[in-house]
Amino acid sequence: MRILKIQTLRGPNYWSIRRHKLIVMRLDLENLAETQSSEIPGFYEGLVEALPSLEGHYCSPGCHGGFLMRVREGTMMGHIVEHVALELQELAGMQVGFGRTRETATPGVYQVVIEYLNEEAGRYAGRAAVRLCQSIVDRGRYPKAELEQDIQDLKDLWRDASLGPSTEAIVKEAEKRGIPWMQLSARFLIQLGYGVNQKRMQATMSDKTGILGVELACDKEATKRVLAATGVPVPKGTVINFLDDLEEAIEYVGGYPIVIKPLDGNHGRGITIDIRSWEEAEAAYEAARQVSRSIIVERYYVGRDHRVLVVDGKVVAVAERVPAHVVGNGRSTIAELIEETNLDPNRGDGHDKVLTKIELDRTSYQLLERQGYTLNSVPPKGTICYLKATANLSTGGTAVDRTDEIHPENLWIAQRVVKIIGLDIAGLDVVTTDISRPLRETDGVIVEVNAAPGFRMHVAPSQGIPRNVAGAVMDMLFPNEQSGRIPVLSVTGTNGKTTTTRLLAHIYKQTGKVVGYTTTDGTYIGEYLVEAGDNTGPQSAHLILQDPTVEVAVLETARGGILRSGLGFEAANVGVVLNVAADHLGIGDIDTIDQLANLKSVVAEAVYPDGYAVLNADDRRVAAMAEKTKANIAYFTMNPSSELVQKHVQKGGVAAVYENGYLSIVKGDWTHRIERAENIPLTMGGRAPFMIANALAASLAAFVQNVTIEQIRAGLKTFRASVSQTPGRMNLFNLGNYHALVDYAHNPASYEAVGAFVRNWTTGQRIGVIGGPGDRRDEDFVTLGKLSAEIFDYIIVKEDDDTRGRPRGSAAELIIKGITQVKPDARFESILDETQAINKGLDMAPANGLVVILPESVSRAIKLIKLRGLVKEEIQQQ
Of residues 520, 546, 679, 857, which one binds ligand ATP by CB under 6 A? 520
Q: Which of 681, 635, 682, 641 is nearest to 660 (CA)?
A: 641
Closer Cβ to ligand ATP, 214 or 754, answer by number: 754
Name the segment binding ligand ATP (CB under 6 A); options: 3-11, 260-268, 618-626, 703-711.
Answer: 260-268
Q: Which of 636, 614, 858 is nearest to 729 (CA)?
A: 858
Of residues 87, 743, 799, 856, which one binds ligand ATP by CB under 6 A? 743
Report the half-sphere exposure of 99 (CA within 13 A, side-chain side).
26
Give the Å distances, CA to CA, from 313 to 182, 317, 412, 422: 27, 12, 10, 10
What's the min distance (Å) between Cβ of 491 and ligand ATP?
9
- Asked if residue 468 binds ligand ATP (CB under 6 A), the reply is no
Burial of 194 (0-12, 13-18, 19+ CB in 10 A): buried
| Amino acid type, 262 | P
Closer Cβ to Mg ion, 236 or 673, answer by number: 236
When CB distances are held under 5 to 8 angstroms depending on the partner's kind, the choice from Mg ion, ligand ATP, none that residue 675 binds is none
Name the segment binding ligand ATP (CB under 6 A); options: 92-100, 152-160, 164-172, 489-497.
Answer: 489-497
- Asked if residue 690 binds ligand ATP (CB under 6 A), the reply is yes
Tally Cβ neighbours within 10 Å of residue 27: 27
Binding mask 626-665 for ligand ATP (x = CB under 6 A): ----------------------------------------
What's the min distance (Å) between Cβ of 497 and Mg ion?
4
- Gap between the Cα atoms of 818 and 780, Å rounded: 10
Of residues 261, 621, 766, 776, which one binds ligand ATP by CB under 6 A? 261
Closer Cβ to Mg ion, 23 or 449, answer by number: 449
Closer Cβ to ligand ATP, 515 or 753, answer by number: 753
Of residues 90, 150, 280, 429, which one binds Mg ion by CB under 5 A? 429
Q: Considering only residues 424-443, where is the footprint of ligand ATP by CB under 6 A?
A: 429, 431
Query: What are the start-end ranges of the E strands in 196-287?
Result: 199-202, 205-206, 237-240, 258-262, 272-275
Closer Cβ to Mg ion, 271 or 864, answer by number: 271
Q: Which of 96, 151, 114 is nearest to 25 (CA)?
A: 114
Query: What are the start-end ranges of the E strands in 466-562?
Result: 488-492, 515-518, 522-525, 528-532, 552-556
DSSP 552: E
What's the min distance (Å) between Cβ of 148 and ligand ATP?
36
3-state secondary structure of 648: helix
- Asked if residue 259 binds ligand ATP (CB under 6 A), the reply is yes
- Gap between the Cα atoms of 542 and 523, Å rounded: 11
Closer Cβ to ligand ATP, 61 or 685, answer by number: 685
Q: Considering only residues 349-408, where is the footprint of ligand ATP by CB under 6 A?
A: 390-392
Name the segment binding Mg ion (CB under 5 A); options: 243-251, 518-526, 581-589, 668-676.
Answer: 518-526
Closer Cβ to Mg ion, 448 or 547, answer by number: 448
Give the Å distances, CA to CA, from 776 to 235, 334, 747, 755, 772: 80, 76, 9, 20, 8
- CA 568, 570, 576, 579 dihedral sign is positive
Q: What share of the chain is helix, strand, coil (3-state, %, to 5)?
A: 40, 20, 40
Burial of 722 (0-12, 13-18, 19+ CB in 10 A): exposed
Of residues 745, 816, 850, 853, which one binds ligand ATP by CB under 6 A? 745
Closer Cβ to ligand ATP, 199 or 502, answer by number: 502
Tally Cβ neighbours within 10 Å of residue 157: 22
Of residues 238, 483, 520, 803, which one binds Mg ion by CB under 5 A? 520
Binding mask 498-517 for ligand ATP (x = CB under 6 A): xx------------------
What's the min distance (Å) between Cβ of 260 and ligand ATP?
9
Of residues 496, 588, 681, 772, which one binds ligand ATP by CB under 6 A? 496
- Gap between the Cα atoms of 198 and 179, Å rounded: 10
- Asked if residue 540 binds ligand ATP (CB under 6 A), the reply is no
What's the min distance (Å) between Cβ of 179 and ligand ATP?
29
- Asked if residue 394 binds Mg ion (CB under 5 A), the reply is no
Binding mask 441-460 for ligand ATP (x = CB under 6 A): ------xx-x----------
| Amino acid type, 621 | R
> Kind and range of the H or E element at 313?
none
Binding mask 455-494 for Mg ion (x = CB under 5 A): ----------------------------------------
**Cβ-proximal residue to ligand ATP, closest one:** 496
Q: Which of 417, 447, 449 is nearest to 261 (CA)?
A: 447
Give backbone dihedrals phi and psi of 426, rounded to 5 degrees, phi first: -145, 150
Q: Considering only residues 223-242, where is the footprint of ligand ATP by CB under 6 A?
A: 235
What's the min distance (Å) between Cβ of 232 and ligand ATP?
14
Pairing of strands 522-525, 528-532: antiparallel
What's the min distance (Å) between Cβ of 557 and Mg ion?
10
- Gap between the Cα atoms of 455 and 240, Å rounded: 33
Of residues 90, 424, 448, 856, which one binds Mg ion by CB under 5 A? 448
Give the Å distances, CA to CA, from 510 to 447, 515, 653, 707: 56, 10, 25, 9
Pairing of strands 99-103, 109-115: antiparallel
Give backbone dihedrals phi and psi of 531, rounded to 5 degrees, phi first: -160, 125
Of residues 19, 26, 497, 798, which one binds Mg ion by CB under 5 A? 497
**What is the arrangement of strands in the sheet containing 189-192, beginning at the earlier edge strand?**
181-183, 189-192, 199-202, 205-206
Binding mask 286-325 for ligand ATP (x = CB under 6 A): ------------x-xx---x--------------------
Which residues contact Mg ion by CB under 5 A?
429, 448, 497-498, 520
Which residues contact ligand ATP by CB under 6 A?
235, 259, 261, 265-269, 271, 273, 298, 300-301, 305, 390-392, 429, 431, 447-448, 450, 493, 495-499, 520, 558, 578-579, 690, 693-694, 729-730, 743-745, 749-750, 753-754
